[in-house]
Structure 1
Amino acid sequence: MNIGGGTITRAELMGIRQGLQVAWDLGVRKAILRSDSKSAIELIASATTSSPHFQLVSQVRRLINQEWEVRVEHTYREGNVVADYLASTGYNLQVGVHLITVPSPMLQHWILFDLVGNATPRYMFQ
């Protein structure tokens, strides 16, 4: 998905909303929502109404509260390489939602990478 601009948190929340909607429409009734955006996860979990993203967060919450099981988790970017790869490639696509029905060889590589749980180093600078 390419939203065309805005803040990182807005992009993360829009991606979460769109992903939940696609999963619901496909008939998924048990899902794990993982995001490397700690701020997006905290907004979804909090009861604050003062966020500039309140309307978008409300839409995400409505989707989560439908008749299904959705577990919301924070993960580091290195823990979800597929999402990071898709976000990077989506940036270069036209504005809008793009559904991938057949993964490219590179996407297949990253899916396998995530499935086997390969560790990648996380560099922390002081």
Structure 2
Amino acid sequence: MGGLAKSIGVSTVLQVELWAIYVGLQVAWDYGLEIPQIQTDNKQVVNLLDDHNAIAHFLSLVRAITNMRKRAWITNILWIPREDNQVADNLTKTAPPRHFQLVIHDTPPTEIGKHFSQ
């Protein structure tokens, strides 16, 4: 079990969530995962990405994610309440500020390890 973190600068909540999914799918593909599950606490993102017209959406990130989901794998997107996914919420805070490189955690960082022992 692992995760990733990356600062993207000042942005909207929607853009941040879409970037997280886009980068997460890139990493999942590179790691050879066959059935990645996308979880988000943003219902708007779920609706955007599950829309059958997503491939023609005006936001380029929605189109890019939709194209990635059409690769030779199975992706599911699930809405999950933020209070039920504190691990992911805390993982987002592990990206060093003003450090725009992707940080991949092959094991849970110590900052969120306490959530696994509960």
Q: TM-score range by the shorter chain?
A: 0.7 to 0.9
- Aligned equivalents of 2:39 and 2:60: distance in 1? 21
**Secondary structure of 1:69's match?**
coil
Letter in 2 for 1:101: D
The one of 87, 98, 118 equivalent to 1:82 is: 87
1:7 aligns with 2:12: yes
- Residue 34 of structure 1 is matched in structure 2 by 39
Letter in 2 for 1:109: K
Return the offset for 1:63: 1.1
**Radius of gyration: which is bigger?**
1
- Residues 78 and 91 from structure 1, CA distance in 2 versus in 1: closer, same or farther, beyond 3 angstroms? farther
CA root-mean-square deviation: 1.9
Question: 1:1-126 alignment to 2 at 5 Å?
Answer: 1-46=6-51, 47=53, 49=56, 51=58, 54-90=59-95, 92=97, 94-113=99-118
- Residues 3 and 96, structure 1, Cα contact 8 Å, conserved in 2: no
With normalisation by structure 2, the TM-score equals 0.82
- Residues 89 and 104 from structure 1, CA distance in 2 versus in 1: closer, same or farther, beyond 3 angstroms? closer
**Secondary structure of 1:30's match?**
coil
**Secondary structure of 1:110's match?**
coil
- Residues 32 and 73, structure 1, Cα contact 8 Å, conserved in 2: yes
Letter in 2 for 1:38: K
- Aligned equivalents of 2:65 and 2:19: distance in 1? 9
Q: % of aligned pairs identical? A: 26
- Residues 57 and 63, structure 2, Cα contact 8 Å, conserved in 1: no
**Secondary structure of 2:103's match?**
coil
Return the offset for 1:84: 0.3
Higher relative contact order (CA 8 A, sep 6+): 2
Count of aligned pairs: 111
